[in-house]
Structure 1
Amino acid sequence: MAKSEGTKANLEKKFDINQINRPLKINSPDFESILKEIKRDEYKRRSGNTKENPYYAMELIRKSGLGAIQLPAEFGGSNVSIRDLLYAVIRLAEADPDAAHILRFHYSFVERILRESDSEKSNNKLLEKIASGAIVGNAFAEINHRNVGGQGVFDTTLTPDGEGYRLNGIKYFSTGTLYSDLVAITASTPEGTPVSVIIPTNREGVFLDDDWDGIGQRLTGSGTTRLQNVYVHKEEVNELSDNTTRFSSLLQLYLHAVIAGILRSVVSDAANLVKNRKRTFSFAAAELPREDPQLLQIIGEISSIAFTAESLVLISADAINKASSSAVNGVIDFSLSHHASLLAAQTKVIVDELALKASTLLFDVGGASATKQSAHLDRHWRNIRTIASHNPTVYKARVIGDYKVNGHELPLKKGYL
């Protein structure tokens, strides 16, 4: 074999997922190998200018055990803290922000199960499925979802049918469900009782539409879930309870872990633009862009924003971990949960503004060539803008101010997501 042929063959060598050791450890060589392969796949799909979904990335996540890292050792997991979980999410989002976002509900769902009593966990068959690679999606959001007397009311209905039930309805913003093996669905019984149903996504009558058309995070599968006379077994139904402290700080902070990961990519893309550019402008402070102090200052600012975002996420993650660890039979200490929610809200207020600034500054170091569609650098701003639009910042800032001035506690979240 000629040398050139040997080099080509080596470059095209297929990634062997079977070489990954389990349980997967954060910051291990195996973890880095998985991220590298997911990043390679994301770049390949993006470079093709086609809407090619990250099915391969999700298969790597299943088979490597990345989706099961929260589980205790007896279930084959790594028992990671919430801080380490969100660090892993940041790194995953750096490689592929869609893949990281897809897992938002999955990781939150697992954390909720792990708050249960030891006896409940040991009898929970879902943990066994997750340990074997199952990914859990959600179908919660409805256009007309409302609360009556503090209780969620859903247009999606669960009605008795013989030994089981029939499920009918339409759900929106079902992020990640397109790639999931199981889906958690909220519904109302004929008596108006809110329930949760967990069923396989390939059950007859479950239709997952890949119709999300947002400007960013385009491949997260955040589309419509249609439920047409789906049969549900009795053991797949649980009545929704308000016996836990319903702050949603992990779900909120998770989004900013994804943003922090995107900012890591903004830093590397900005540095590469300046490092590789040869042309400069007549008013430039140096002949080579990589020696231009003004461009270097912008890179330093972008890097500092990325550092700030990641630091805030991890500090807030520690507070969530402390709150979650306080749970007794699933019930979290109120004050610890409130504090964690406050930190998550404060993180959002700062990170949203700085992240959008960083993704705009990226174009200040690249010149007009950075705006070429083939460069795809606009994806960072679009992705950040889309994620930041979850739970508008103005509401978070207002309740933080109300708490600081008037001592009014942050409101409990509405609904069950």
Structure 2
Amino acid sequence: MTVLHAGWGGISNPKFDAVLARFRPIFADIASGAVTREVAHELPFEQIAWLKAEKFGALRVPEDEGGYGLDLPELFSLLTELSEADSNITQALRGHFAFAEDVLNKPAGKYRTRWIERLVRGELAGNAWTEIGNAQIEGFSTRISERDGKLWLNGEKYYTTGSLFADWLDVGAADQQARGVCVSVRRESPGLNIVDDWDGIGQTLTASGTSTFTDVEVFPEDIVFDEERFQYATGLYQTVHLATLAGIGRALAGDVARAVAARRRTYDHASASRSSADPQVLQIVGKVRSAAYAASAITIASARALQRAFDARFANEEERVQINAETEIETAQAQVIITDLILDASTRAFDSLGASATKKPAALDRHWRNARTLSSHNPRIYKERIVGDYAVNGTLPPPQWRIGVPAATS
């Protein structure tokens, strides 16, 4: 059954259908153990290894360079389906797909060739950008220094999502001149320590914990200046969240539909003798599924905006600035609506079932917890304001965002 035939709409063409057919059995295996992993807090090392073996991280690499050659709407359609199987895994791979997108934006040369070869081998990159506590919003305390003719990285990062599963870490840092840089570091590097100490209420299996760098050697060829990174990064990072939320909505819709179909108990004041025939219950299930459908469709619309930005990556600066701004507006608008849709659905779904649905082994609460955690990133209240300011005053959205303590208040 294709996504189209399942009633989810979406994308269908021979190339994409072939890629989907390759990964769908893996997604099914991932989904089969998702609840068990959630309840037992088992990190999905094995499941991510299955994806690595099939070069999942090379989905965007052109076919003539050894990848699958998916465009961005196709990528996010696939990520939505992976998120339906286990949203933790999509979140864990978020940093990788942003890093891979940056590689694809690079002009031909040694750097791009080296990384394309790594992606095609199945290697994955994790994320190590955010600093907590009194970290400054203007720059990083994680720094590169020079000693004995070598470069060394020192600092600490939190929210290093997916790094325990990765081969490389994509690290935000400051160089010797305090310029913002991105540096790639092998996960096995001496002096690098990663701890799974993420204690959030949701997305608990993403290994979004602490990474500490103590005299980790880095190499000049693995350093890129901030301004050289691809310019629609914020939109792409956000759209991974959107695909993850849409997948959570689909998983929720499936779980609730199956639970209602199997339910035998009912109430003496119900509208039917079985929940599966109760029009009020069916209405709730329909609303939950429709929210997931809308979230999936909006995610693909956001991905199409990103594709326009990718296609314009070598255009003149004025054109790129405008297209990237419009892309950011579209992803912000999508975030505002999808967040409401899935948070509401993940609460409303319980109205279709009895109190037994709240028992921990069922793990239905994971859908709300995961959606709530994802929706707390990049706060939507700011995105609503940014969209409104654009609509009323024509103000372009900020091209990049960071979190930390402003210098004036530190």
What TM-score results when the alignment is normalised by the length of structure 1? Answer: 0.88
Aligned residues: 387
- Structure 1 residue runs without a partner (length 5+): 1-22
Contact kept in structure 1, 2:190 and 2:216, CA below 8 Å: yes
**Which residue number corresponds to residue 63 of structure 2?**
73
| Identity %, equivalent residues | 34
Secondary structure of the corresponding residue to residue 200 of structure 2: coil
**Which residue number corresponds to residue 350 of structure 1?**
337
**Which residue number corresponds to residue 12 of structure 1?**
none
Farther off after superposition, 406-415 or 324-333? 324-333
Matched, 1:280 2:266: yes
**Partner deviation per Cα, 1:163-188 (whole Å, 9 max, x = no partner):** 32111101111111111100111221
Contact kept in structure 1, 2:20 and 2:78, CA below 8 Å: no
Q: Distance in 2 between matches of 1:114 and 1:244?
A: 9
| TM-fit CA distance, 1:330 | 11
Give the residue type in structure 2 aligned to 1:357: D
**Which residue number corresponds to residue 378 of structure 1?**
365
**Which residue number corresponds to residue 6 of structure 2?**
none
Runs of 4+ that moved beyond 3 A: 23-28, 144-147, 242-247, 329-332
**Partner deviation per Cα, 1:67-98 (whole Å, 9 max, x = no partner):** 11111113321110100100111000111111
**Which residue number corresponds to residue 382 of structure 2?**
395
Matched, 1:368 2:355: yes
Secondary structure of the corresponding residue to residue 333 of structure 1: helix
Contact kept in structure 1, 2:60 and 2:71, CA below 8 Å: yes
- CA, structure 1 residues 26+410, in 2 after alignment: closer, same or farther (shift >3 Å)? farther
| TM-fit CA distance, 1:244 | 5.3
Contact kept in structure 2, 1:256 and 1:313, CA below 8 Å: yes
**Which residue number corresponds to residue 109 of structure 1?**
99
Matched, 1:290 2:276: yes
**Which residue number corresponds to residue 175 of structure 2?**
189
**Which residue number corresponds to residue 256 of structure 1?**
242
Pairing 1:132-171 to 2, within 5 Å after superposition: 132-143=121-132, 144-147=134-137, 152-171=138-157
- CA, structure 1 residues 128+377, in 2 after alignment: closer, same or farther (shift >3 Å)? same
Q: Distance in 1 between matches of 2:401 and 2:258?
A: 44
Q: Distance in 2 between matches of 1:374 and 1:137?
A: 31
**Which residue number corresponds to residue 43 of structure 2?**
53
| TM-fit CA distance, 1:190 | 3.3
Give the residue type in structure 2 aligned to 1:390: H
Q: Distance in 2 between matches of 1:402 and 1:24?
A: 38
Q: Distance in 2 between matches of 1:253 and 1:125?
A: 27
- CA, structure 1 residues 171+232, in 2 after alignment: closer, same or farther (shift >3 Å)? same
Pairing 1:289-308 to 2, within 5 Å after superposition: 289-308=275-294
One of 338, 352, 361 as aligned partner of 2:325: 338
Contact kept in structure 2, 1:25 and 1:78, CA below 8 Å: no
Contact kept in structure 2, 1:24 and 1:77, CA below 8 Å: no
| TM-fit CA distance, 1:411 | 2.0
Q: Distance in 2 between matches of 1:330 and 1:176?
A: 35
- CA, structure 1 residues 40+247, in 2 after alignment: closer, same or farther (shift >3 Å)? closer
Q: Distance in 2 between matches of 1:266 and 1:243?
A: 36
Pairing 1:215-254 to 2, within 5 Å after superposition: 215-241=201-227, 245=231, 248-254=234-240
- Structure 2 residue runs without a partner (length 5+): 1-14, 404-410
Q: Distance in 2 between matches of 1:330 and 1:107?
A: 25
Contact kept in structure 1, 2:102 and 2:230, CA below 8 Å: no
| TM-fit CA distance, 1:223 | 0.5
**Which residue number corresponds to residue 42 of structure 1?**
34
Contact kept in structure 1, 2:16 and 2:70, CA below 8 Å: no
Contact kept in structure 1, 2:19 and 2:68, CA below 8 Å: no
What TM-score results when the alignment is normalised by the length of structure 2? Answer: 0.90
Of structures 1 and 2, the one with the larger relative CO (CA 8 A, separation 6+) is: 2
| TM-fit CA distance, 1:30 | 2.1
**Partner deviation per Cα, 1:186-217 (whole Å, 9 max, x = no partner):** 22123212222111101000000100000000
Give the residue type in structure 2 aligned to 1:258: T
